[in-house]
């Protein structure tokens, strides 16, 4: 295999992309991430609202909620496996091929959840099949958002990278809005019996049409210009293996490439990854508490109408369409670290008073509090995360490290968080453990932002990490 780095003089500047290519990449990233978060929000809301009765009917409501949250959590284990498998594939053969596979896996598994038999029909096999589909869904999703983030950040002009990469975060917001809107509509128009007998299936079945659209768009998407212009990618568009990288680093025929490849080969890994993991922790943990656990907590513990929490998230997701690009735009102007610090400090300060207001049970108080918490502690942080993590990592292992940081953070925070919150609130009979967890998650991200280098505007073609 011959190593060759394309240049502007060899007649094929592979890094050139048009405005149309950028738009297609933006739509692809937005739509794929919207589908991922729609799928997962459909599942998480179903787990909080109906799955305890459909798949775990023979236990108490509190234990049923914990069991339903458990099925929600197992998907994050599969996401980690998918992050490793597809992340390495994305760094080796390119971003586009992996993104095509992941979105097909997610869409198919989500659609099949909508045709599952219930516990009343086939007994224990029903929750077993639910867990199996959740695992397949997680396997595909494990690299979806990392791939979309990588692709869009590598396409974006450097001075607008934050606001353009935030479209991935808008995808999460779109998916959350669509899923929450569907559930809010079903709760409004269907009776309890209709919802439990057949209504819960509709959101999962409707996701099939979104999958078809996303797959069609990705068929026409060009590869990332950064991947194609990397110093370690050969004429066939495949990244060098480690052995090939060692050989290329020793090659005297191209001193410039030799130095670049040697630096990537000998860089000590780890610091950038742990910074990214900490940045991810706050957003992921806060998301699991606010978008998943609170919905069930309000219904089963505070005994509020189920529509109150879903309507609050619906309104908050709409507000997020302004919050997300605004945060990305500000980070392009002042840097990533200052915005991270402001958002995490404010989130920590507001956690206890807003959770106290939620516990009072008034519709207005719940709505205002959830909007503020969701936009500051989840959507705002995710807008920053989309670009900052891509800039932290070098091009050679960006996809893999980004996917692993996201999914390990997801397992440690999002998957375990709702289970821990359910256990602590059941044991204490109070809301304060939720507030304490919000403060803890935000504090971890604050510390990570403090120790992180400023990565705004970093050259993404560089093979080595920023730290």
Q: Which domain holds residue 154?
A: 19-451
Distance (Å) of CA 163 to CA 3, 168, 324, 398, 399? 35, 10, 8, 20, 20
Q: Which residues contact 231 (CB under 8 A, 6 or more apart)?
A: 5, 257, 260, 261, 264, 461, 463
Give me the chain's average pLDDT, please: 82
pLDDT of residue 4: 47
Its pTM stands at: 0.80
Q: Is the pLDDT of residue 282 over 60?
A: yes
CATH number of the domain encompassing residue 210? 1.20.1250.20
In a domain, 442, yes or no: yes
Per-residue pLDDT averaged across 323-335, rounded? Answer: 95
pLDDT digits (tens, 9 = 90+) for 377-424: 999 999 999 899 999 999 888 999 999 998 888 788 877 888 888 889
Alpha-carbon distance 267 to 243, whole Å? 16
Instruction: At 435, give phi and psi (nearest 5°).
Output: -65, -40
pLDDT of residue 272: 93
In a domain, 268, yes or no: yes
In a domain, 9, yes or no: no
**67-81, 252-266, 282-296: least confident range:** 252-266
Q: Is the pLDDT of residue 264 over 70?
A: no
Count structural domains, the chain.
1
In a domain, 464, yes or no: no
Are residues 182 and 202 in contact, defined by beta-carbon separation less than 8 angstroms?
yes
In a domain, 2, yes or no: no
Scored b (16 or more CB within 10 A) or e, 20-46 reads: eebebbbbbbbbbbbbbbbbbbbbbbb
In a domain, 367, yes or no: yes
pLDDT of residue 389: 93
Closest CA to 386 of 431, 325, 334, 436: 325
Are residues 430 and 261 in contact, defined by beta-carbon separation less than 8 angstroms?
no
Are residues 343 and 443 in contact, defined by beta-carbon separation less than 8 angstroms?
no
In a domain, 13, yes or no: no
């Amino acid at each position: 295999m011959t190593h060759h780095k394309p240049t502007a003089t060899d007649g094929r500047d592979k890094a050139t992309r048009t405005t149309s290519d950028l738009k297609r990449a933006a739509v692809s990233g937005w739509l794929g991430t919207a589908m991922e978060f729609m799928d997962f929000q459909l599942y998480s809301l179903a787990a909080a609202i109906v799955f305890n009765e459909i798949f775990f009917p023979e236990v108490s409501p509190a234990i049923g909620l914990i069991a339903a949250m458990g099925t929600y959590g197992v998907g994050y284990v599969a996401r980690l496996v998918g992050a490793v498998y597809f992340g390495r594939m994305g760094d080796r053969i390119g971003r586009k091929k992996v993104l095509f596979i992941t979105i097909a896996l997610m869409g198919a598994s989500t659609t099949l959840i909508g045709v599952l038999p219930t516990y009343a029909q086939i007994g224990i096999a029903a929750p077993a099949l639910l867990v199996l589909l959740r695992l397949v869904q997680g396997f595909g999703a494990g690299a979806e958002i990392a791939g979309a983030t990588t692709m869009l950040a590598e396409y974006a002009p450097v001075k607008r990278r934050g606001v353009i990469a935030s479209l991935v975060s808008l995808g999460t917001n779109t998916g959350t809005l669509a899923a929450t809107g569907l559930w809010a509509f079903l709760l409004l128009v269907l009776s309890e019996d209709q919802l439990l007998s057949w209504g819960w299936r509709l959101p999962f079945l409707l996701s099939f049409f979104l999958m078809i659209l996303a797959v069609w768009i990705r068929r026409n998407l060009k590869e990332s210009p950064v991947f194609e212009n990397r110093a370690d990618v050969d004429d066939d568009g495949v990244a060098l293996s480690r052995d090939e990288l060692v050989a290329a680093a020793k090659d005297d025929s191209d001193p410039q490439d030799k130095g670049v490849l040697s630096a990537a080969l000998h860089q000590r890994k780890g610091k950038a990854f742990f910074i990214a993991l900490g940045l991810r922790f706050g957003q992921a943990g806060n998301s699991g508490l606010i978008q998943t656990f609170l919905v069930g907590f309000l219904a089963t513990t505070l005994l509020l109408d189920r529509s109150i929490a879903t309507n609050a998230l619906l309104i908050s997701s709409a507000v997020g369409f302004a919050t997300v690009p605004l945060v990305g735009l500000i980070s392009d102007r002042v840097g990533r670290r200052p915005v991270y610090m402001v958002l995490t400090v404010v989130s920590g300060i507001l956690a206890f008073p807003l959770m106290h207001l939620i516990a009072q049970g008034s519709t207005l108080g719940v709505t205002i509090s959830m909007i503020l918490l969701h936009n500051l502690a989840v959507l705002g942080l995710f807008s920053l995360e989309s670009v900052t993590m891509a800039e932290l990592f070098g091009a050679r292992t960006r996809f893999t490290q980004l996917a692993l940081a996201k999914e390990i953070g997801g397992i440690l925070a999002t998957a375990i968080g709702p289970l821990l919150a359910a256990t602590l609130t059941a044991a204490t009979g109070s809301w304060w453990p939720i507030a304490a967890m919000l403060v803890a998650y935000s504090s971890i991200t604050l510390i990570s932002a403090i120790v992180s280098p400023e990565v705004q505007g970093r050259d993404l073609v560089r093979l080595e990490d920023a730290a």
